[in-house]
């Protein structure tokens, strides 16, 4: 059955690196890593290991926080290489193995992570035979450049997002995303306090972080179960979803439930925007490759208190991501501007050419 294939794909991907069980109570996640994951974690300082755990234990959601953590781990490896007695070849090998691990773990669901790792490590192989100090300097500079660049993207997204929000009084935000969170930030920075409708996004507990940040920013959050989406979509002036990745045809892949938001926005005539950095574009679609369907078994998450025999006899497989088509999206709010989905193909080609050094 199709539902089984979702969970089969997820289990195949995850069991290479860890075994996961999730308890519904307090949304705690317990992870037992295999030897490979434990070995990689031991390469890191306590601070670096925290970033490792943030991703593996899904304590930090979304591609952008995961990219930030991976970059911090690259920096950690470089800074601590002399104390660990590494030479350049060993440092390069560790960075590449760490990249491979997170590429397998997160790359299929979020192509941006693969692109960001490629940007931060581009040219690294040439330093394997260089003196260690030169290799460390290369890595630290590459990481610093990427962080500065990504901070600039967020500022432009906030600038263009404010143009969308300026005359509105309420928004609906679905499933935590740093770029969607930036919409709340830009409103607050311009002195506008808004009503923020927040579905729980139960599949990942992705609504709660929005509530925390909305309160800090002085907004008025309204938190509700996903089943009430229709009632609150009617009330919102605008809706925002993030994108784990998006495609040149203007469609976006995001946490399951995003498709429901899109359908309801279309039903009630509400604009739906996707704030995202262009780095999240996935160009594999123009090669004829389709995104794999990934899912997860939510048994322990949804039914922790059920009798074991009842839980074992019930199918809890759920897709990870939903595809929202270009016809359902008003526009993408990116560092390059507010772009209609129909224009994303040309913009994506030019963007990829630029970051790969083929453009101007």
Q: Write down the pLDDT at residue 286.
A: 73
pLDDT higher than 70, residue 74: yes
Q: Write down the pLDDT at residue 298.
A: 84
Give the chain's mean pLDDT. 88
Q: Write down the pLDDT at residue 288.
A: 66
Q: Write down the pLDDT at residue 296.
A: 78
CA atoms of 126 and 108, how far apart (whole Å): 27
Question: Residue 180: CB partners within 8 Å, gap ≥ 6?
Answer: 173, 174, 210, 240, 241, 242, 275
CATH of 2-18+28-151, one of 3.40.50.970, 3.40.220.10, 1.20.120.420, 2.70.70.10: 1.20.120.420
- Give the start-to-end residue ranges of the domains of the chain: 2-18+28-151, 155-355
- The arithmetic mean of pLDDT across residues 5-26, rounded, is 42
Q: Write down the pLDDT at residue 58.
A: 76
- The arithmetic mean of pLDDT across residues 65-72, rounded, is 94
CA 56 to chain centre: 13
Q: Write down the pLDDT at residue 6.
A: 52
Residue 355 CA: distances (Å) to CA of 106, 126, 146, 306:
21, 19, 12, 50
Q: Write down the pLDDT at residue 292.
A: 67
Q: Write down the pLDDT at residue 28.
A: 32
Lowest mean pLDDT among 21-25, 273-277, 290-294: 21-25
Sequential DSSP letters for 41-107: HHTS-HHHHHHHHHHHTT-S-SHHHHHHHHHHHHHHHHHHTTTTT--HHHHHHHHHHHHHHHHHHHT
Identify the band that residue 10 occupies on the pLDDT scale cut at 50, 70 and 90.
Answer: very low
pLDDT over 90 percentage in the chain? 71
pLDDT over 70 percentage in the chain? 88
pLDDT higher than 80, residue 261: yes
pLDDT higher than 60, residue 15: no
Phi first, then psi, for residue 333 (nearest 5°) are -95, 105
- The arithmetic mean of pLDDT across residues 258-276, rounded, is 98
- The arithmetic mean of pLDDT across residues 211-240, rounded, is 98
pLDDT tens, residue by residue, 279-303? 999 987 777 666 666 777 888 778 8
Cβ of 155: how many Cβ atoms within 10 Å?
11
Lowest mean pLDDT among 11-25, 79-93, 164-178, 227-241: 11-25
The CA-based dihedral angle spanning residues 208, 213, 215, 220, taken in that order and rounded to the nearest 10 degrees = -80
CA atoms of 222 and 352, how far apart (whole Å): 39
Q: Residue 333's beta-bridge partner residues?
A: 275, 338
Identify the band that residue 260 occupies on the pLDDT scale cut at 50, 70 and 90.
Answer: very high
CA atoms of 292 and 290, how far apart (whole Å): 6
Identify the band that residue 19 occupies on the pLDDT scale cut at 50, 70 and 90.
Answer: very low
- pTM passes above 0.85: no
Lowest mean pLDDT among 107-121, 155-169, 319-333: 107-121
Identify the band that residue 353 occupies on the pLDDT scale cut at 50, 70 and 90.
Answer: confident
Question: Residue 273: CB partners within 8 Å, gap ≥ 6?
Answer: 161, 164, 238, 239, 240, 329, 330, 331, 332, 333, 338
CATH of 155-355, one of 3.40.50.720, 3.40.50.10470, 3.40.50.1000, 3.30.70.20: 3.40.50.10470
pLDDT tens, residue by residue, 98-132? 999 999 888 777 788 999 999 999 999 999 999 99
Lowest mean pLDDT among 44-53, 189-198, 348-357: 348-357
Q: Residue 171's beta-bridge partner residues?
A: 196
Question: Residue 75: CB partners within 8 Å, gap ≥ 6?
Answer: 139, 140, 143
């Amino acid at each position: 059955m199709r539902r089984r294939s979702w969970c089969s794909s997820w289990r195949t991907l995850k069991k290479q690196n860890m075994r996961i069980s999730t308890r519904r109570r307090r949304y705690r996640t317990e992870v037992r890593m295999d030897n490979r994951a434990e070995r990689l974690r031991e390469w890191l300082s306590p601070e670096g290991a925290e970033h490792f755990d943030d991703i593996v234990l899904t304590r930090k959601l979304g591609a952008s926080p995961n990219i930030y953590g991976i970059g911090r781990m690259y920096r950690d490896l470089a800074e601590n290489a002399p104390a660990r007695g590494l030479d350049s070849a060993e440092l390069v090998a560790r960075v590449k193995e760490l990249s491979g691990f997170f590429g397998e773990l997160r790359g299929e669901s979020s192509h941006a992570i693969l692109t960001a790792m490629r940007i931060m490590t581009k040219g690294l192989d040439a330093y394997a035979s260089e003196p260690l100090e030169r290799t460390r300097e290369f890595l630290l500079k590459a990481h610093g450049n990427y962080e500065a660049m990504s901070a600039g993207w967020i500022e432009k997204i906030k600038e263009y997002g404010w143009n969308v929000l300026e005359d509105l009084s309420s928004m609906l935000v679905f499933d935590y995303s740093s770029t969607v969170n930036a919409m709340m930030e830009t409103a607050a920075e311009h002195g506008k306090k808004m009503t923020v409708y927040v579905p729980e996004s139960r599949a990942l507990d992705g609504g709660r972080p929005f509530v925390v940040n909305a309160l800090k920013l002085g907004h008025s959050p309204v938190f509700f179960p996903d089943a009430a989406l229709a009632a609150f979509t009617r009330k919102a002036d605008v809706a925002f979803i993030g994108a784990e990745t998006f495609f040149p045809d203007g469609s976006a892949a995001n946490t399951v439930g995003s498709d429901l938001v899109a359908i309801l926005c279309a039903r009630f005539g509400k604009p739906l925007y996707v704030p995202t950095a262009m780095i999240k574009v996935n160009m594999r679609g123009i090669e004829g490759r389709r995104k794999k369907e990934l899912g997860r078994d939510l048994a322990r998450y949804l039914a922790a208190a059920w009798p074991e025999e009842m839980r074992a006899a019930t199918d809890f497989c759920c897709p990870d991501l939903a595809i929202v088509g270009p016809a359902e999206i008003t526009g993408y709010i990116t560092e390059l501007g507010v772009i209609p989905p129909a224009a994303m193909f040309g913009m994506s080609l030019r963007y990829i050419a630029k970051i790969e050094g083929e453009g101007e």
